[in-house]
Amino acid sequence: MKRFYPARRMVPLVGMLATALLLIFAFVLGLVSFGKMRQVVTEEFNRQQLVLAQNLAALIQQDLEFLRRELTVLNLSPSVQYSESPSLGSRLRVTLRSIQAGELLEIRRVSSTGLEAVVLDRAGVAHTEQGRFGDDPYFAWALAPRNRNRILLDEPPAYIQARFGPRPLLIMATPQYQDSPDEAHPRPTGRFAGVLLFVLDASSIASRFAEHAKSGATGYAWVIDEEGTFLAHPMPSFVGKNAFKARPEFNPAMGFEGINTIMRDRMLKGQEGTGSYVSGWHRQTVGPIHKLIGFCPVHIDPDRPGRLWSVAVVAPVSEVHGLVASLFMRQFFMQAAIVLAILAGGLSLVRLERHWTQIKKQREREVNLSSRLASLGMLAAGVAHEINNPIAIILGFADILLEKTSPDTEAYAQLKIIERQGLACKKIVENLGRFARIPEQRDETTDLNEEIHRAVAMVTNTLLTDKIQCHVELQENLPRVMGDPQGIQQVLLNLITNARGAMKKEGGVLAVYSRREDGRVAVAVTDTGHGIRKKDLGRIFDPFFTTKAPGEGTGLGLSISHGIIEKAGGTITVESRHEDEAGTEHPGTTFTIHLPIVPQES
Amino acid sequence: MQEKILILDDEVDMLTLLQTIISTKTPHDVVATNNPLELEELMAADAFSLVISDLKMLGRDGLEVIDLVHDKDATIPVVIITAYGSLESAQEVVRHGAYDYITKPFRKEQVLITIERALEWRRITLENMKLKGH
């Protein structure tokens, strides 16, 4: 009968589904953790950009501080205070040389009248200019006594700006008073002497540090002033242009709301912080690029906190994300490998389990078969038993009638047929009976002497008929041995039957001995029959080996006996002398069985 | 020497067969019944030298027959007829005191030999008893 187990069929399917779900879940979890990790790393990266921006701002501030100090020191010089030619020019040149090339464009000393100025240009050439310098805003500021010893940072007047083109400039101005003594003026007058000015290149100051700053692999820094004008940017064309205008000019297709908002609402308000925006380009690449920004203000004028520049450090997000992604991919592949390994292990377990289940089913089938055979056997035994009666009667009367009938009649021939067919029935029944004999395990220990008595009792009469003398010599009080009594009985009967067969022709003596021997019990079954040939001795325990005529023996008796004794933990051996072999005086065979004694229970 | 033999078997044809074999091949007298419950009655009426009985009969089995016969006279041998293949029951009847057993189906020679041996055994036993008794 074929059975289907729909529920069982579902098991692998459900398992696969569960595994797939688990994998998807793991993947989603991985993605979430990837996002989280990216966020964390991004934040950390941006914090580093902020630190970089802070450092840049500090450097720029230091630079401006240095310039302020230079201006102050120069202002203390008597040659400058008293405008003594030619020492004034050389003193100005000393300062010019000590300041970074590019930052300081020129030094101006405007006289106290505001009508004359001594100018030292970058090349170190001094000349005098006439003009209404007194109208310049710084001059008015310098005249105020409260501004003595203070420094003004301001836009240059237009005539100066015009001289240096559109680049962002800055002036650093301080009022001059004649308060330093020298040989010509041992007593300083203390009078207002004019204004000392540095004309500075703002972009040069800003770029000096920003241009070397690098964030990640391709990130860079830029600086804007309080108007939003680029003071420093890796793209030279941007410098001097207003950031709000320069960007859309460069890439009109893009909106720059993100960065504009950051600049307007945070950077230009003097805040420091981090953020992100979409840019229209990054270095040589044009197109929408997600960028990270860290920014910090530079307070350029300690007297006026409102005056500030702002340093920004930017880098494309992809740089960070690429790094995180590669890390994450490595992690993901590792996880996937582990999951696959577990999966493979699980699958092989499932297969193994199936294999076991199949074996179990097979066993169950075998057990079913054998129990079916057993009940069939019982039925057969019953049938065989019942049928023996009628066969006995049929054969018996056939025999009697055959004796009464003359052999040359037709009736005799027909009676012979009845007898032959009856014998055929008998054979069939015998075979059935043999099939039906199912060994039943009842006991595990045996009283050997008792079994010998029984076996011998069963055959005594038959032996007498065959002119065989039976000699039994048993040691008394033998301990019980291992082995089931039925099996041992069968072995003994097999051996006796063989002995009988060997002595059938001329009769002889069958002897059975039992004795205790080396912690075991030995049983010997000896006959004075024809013996076994040497060449056959090695094979007598093989199944289907027989020396009897075909149909008389199955060749199974000794092999079954051997199996029974071995199962009980014993041994069975044979010694034999065959009558036809040279030098044999007393032919015969002895089978000796050794069985282990049942251990005493303590 | 003529002896009296009692045969018990619930199968009438089997009785007829055994009766025929014994009466044609031996000088002995046969009393046969297919009702084993008649055993006591028959034994009270006659002195038998041998009882042959089937093992499995309706109403009474062979082992009981052995006991009943031996209760009356322990020198009367009982031969049990049993079906081929039931070695255990054969063993059991011998242990139970049966003189011998015959397995069905049998050859008539087997029956005759067994009967003669059983009767011989009884004669010897009786002689021994007589010798001992005097």
The alpha carbon of residue B132 is apart from the nearest alpha carbon of chain A, in Å, by: 26
Residue boundaries of the structural domains of chain A: 77-179+189-205, 445-596
If 0-12 CB within 10 Å is exposed, 13-18 middle and 19+ buried, where does residue A305 land? exposed
Distance (Å, rounded) from C-alpha B88 to C-alpha B63? Answer: 13
pLDDT at A493 over 80: yes
Residues 6+ apart with CB under 8 A from A380: A432, A433, A435, A436
Q: How confident is the model at residue A601 (pLDDT cuts 50, 70, 90)?
A: low
- Please check whether residue B108 touches A, CB under 8 A: yes
| Predicted complex ipTM exceeds 0.95 | no
Report phi then psi at A184, rounded to 5: -75, -30
Selection from A204, A143, A207 nearest residue A175 by Cα: A143
Q: Which domain holds residue B60?
A: 4-133
Distance (Å, rounded) from C-alpha A295 to C-alpha A299? Answer: 13
Domain A77-179+189-205, CATH = 3.30.450.20
CB contact (8 A) between residue B105 and residue A396: yes
If 0-12 CB within 10 Å is exposed, 13-18 middle and 19+ buried, where does residue A192 land? middle
Distance (Å, rounded) from C-alpha A340 to C-alpha A160? Answer: 75
CB contact (8 A) between residue A434 and residue B100: no
Query: Considering only CB atoms, which chain A residues are within 8 Å of B100?
Result: 461
DSSP B77-101: -EEEEEETT-HHHHHHHHHTT-SEE
Distance (Å, rounded) from C-alpha A80 to C-alpha A111? Answer: 10
Nearest to B104 among A392, A399, A458 (CB): A392
pLDDT at B114 over 80: yes
pLDDT at A6 over 60: no
Domain CATH for B117 = 3.40.50.2300
pLDDT attached to residue A437: 53
Residues 6+ apart with CB under 8 A from B46: B4, B6, B31
**Is the peptide bond prior to A407 cis by the omega test (within 30 degrees of 0)?**
no
SS3 A474: strand
CB A54 within 8 A of CB A272: yes
pLDDT attached to residue A534: 86
Q: Which of A89-103, A517-531, B20-34 has the lowest mean pLDDT?
A: A89-103
CB A88 within 8 A of CB A118: yes
Residue range B52-81: mean pLDDT, rounded? 91
pLDDT attached to residue A602: 46
Judge whether A77-179+189-205 and A445-596 match in fold: no
Q: How confident is the model at residue B8 (pLDDT cuts 50, 70, 90)?
A: very high
Q: Which two tokens stand for residue A60?
A: 């720029």
The alpha carbon of residue A385 is apart from the nearest alpha carbon of chain B, in Å, by: 6
Distance (Å, rounded) from C-alpha A297 to C-alpha A314? Answer: 15
Chains A–B, number of C-beta pairs less than 8 Å apart: 72
Q: Which two tokens stand for residue B74?
A: 């322990």
Residue range A113-124: mean pLDDT, rounded? 89
CB contact (8 A) between residue A391 and residue B104: yes
Radius of gyration of chain B (CA): 14
Look at domain A445-596 and name its CATH class: alpha beta
- Disruptive mutation site among A388, A395, A418, A420 for chain B (greatest number of B CBs within 10 Å): A388
Q: How confident is the model at residue A446 (pLDDT cuts 50, 70, 90)?
A: confident
pLDDT at A370 over 70: no
pLDDT attached to residue A551: 59
CB A77 within 8 A of CB A94: no
pLDDT attached to residue A439: 47
Distance (Å, rounded) from C-alpha A136 to C-alpha A156? Answer: 9
pLDDT attached to residue A599: 82
Most confident listed range (A30-34, A421-425, A519-523): A519-523
pLDDT attached to residue A276: 87
Q: Which helix (H) or strand (E) holds A588?
A: strand A588-596
DSSP B25-62: HSS-EEEEES-GGGHHHHHHHS--SEEEEESS-SS--H
CB A313 within 8 A of CB A294: yes
Residue range A395-399: mean pLDDT, rounded? 90
The alpha carbon of residue A9 is apart from the nearest alpha carbon of chain B, in Å, by: 50
If 0-12 CB within 10 Å is exposed, 13-18 middle and 19+ buried, where does residue A422 land? buried
pLDDT above 90 as % of chain A: 26
Distance (Å, rounded) from C-alpha A547 to C-alpha A554? Answer: 10
The residue with tokens 């595994």 is A19
Query: Considering only CB atoms, which chain B residues are within 8 Å of A399?
Result: 107-108
pLDDT at B76 over 90: yes
Residue range A209-234: mean pLDDT, rounded? 87
The alpha carbon of residue B125 is apart from the nearest alpha carbon of chain A, in Å, by: 17
- Please check whether residue A388 touches B, CB under 8 A: yes
CB contact (8 A) between residue B11 and residue A389: yes
Domains in chain B, number: 1
Distance (Å, rounded) from C-alpha A469 to C-alpha A441? Answer: 33
- Please check whether residue B96 touches A, CB under 8 A: no
Q: pLDDT by residue (tens digit) across A529-564?
A: 988 888 888 788 877 777 777 656 666 778 778 888
Residue range A152-164: mean pLDDT, rounded? 90
Q: pLDDT by residue (tens digit) across A286-299?
A: 778 888 899 999 99
pLDDT above 70 as % of chain A: 93
CA A97, A99, A105, A108 torsion-angle sign: negative
pLDDT at A372 over 70: no
pLDDT attached to residue A85: 77
SS3 B108: helix
CB A430 within 8 A of CB B84: yes
Selection from B57, B53, B49 nearest residue B101 by Cα: B53
| Cross-strand bridge partners of residue A339 | none
Residue of B nearest to A391 (CA): B105
Distance (Å, rounded) from C-alpha A595 to C-alpha A322? Answer: 82
Distance (Å, rounded) from C-alpha A378 to C-alpha A602? Answer: 41
Q: pLDDT by residue (tens digit) across A400-435?
A: 899 889 999 999 999 999 998 888 888 777 766 655
pLDDT attached to residue B134: 60
CB A185 within 8 A of CB A178: yes
**Is the peptide bond prior to B105 cis by the omega test (within 30 degrees of 0)?**
yes
Q: pLDDT averaged over chain A?
A: 85
DSSP B131: H
Query: Considering only CB atoms, which chain A residues are within 8 Å of B92?
Result: none
Nearest to A458 among B21, B94, B114 (CB): B94
A533-548 as b/e: b if 16+ CB within 10 A: eeeeeeebbeeeebee
CB A97 within 8 A of CB A111: no
Q: How confident is the model at residue B85 (pLDDT cuts 50, 70, 90)?
A: low
Tell me the residue type at A149. N
The alpha carbon of residue A520 is apart from the nearest alpha carbon of chain B, in Å, by: 27
Report phi then psi at A439, rounded to 5: -65, 130
B13-25 as b/e: b if 16+ CB within 10 A: bbbbbbbbbbeee
pLDDT at B81 over 50: yes
- Higher per-residue confidence, B134 vs B120: B120
- Please check whether residue B86 touches A, CB under 8 A: yes
Q: pLDDT averaged over chain B?
A: 89
Q: Which two tokens stand for residue A179?
A: 């308060």
pLDDT attached to residue A589: 93
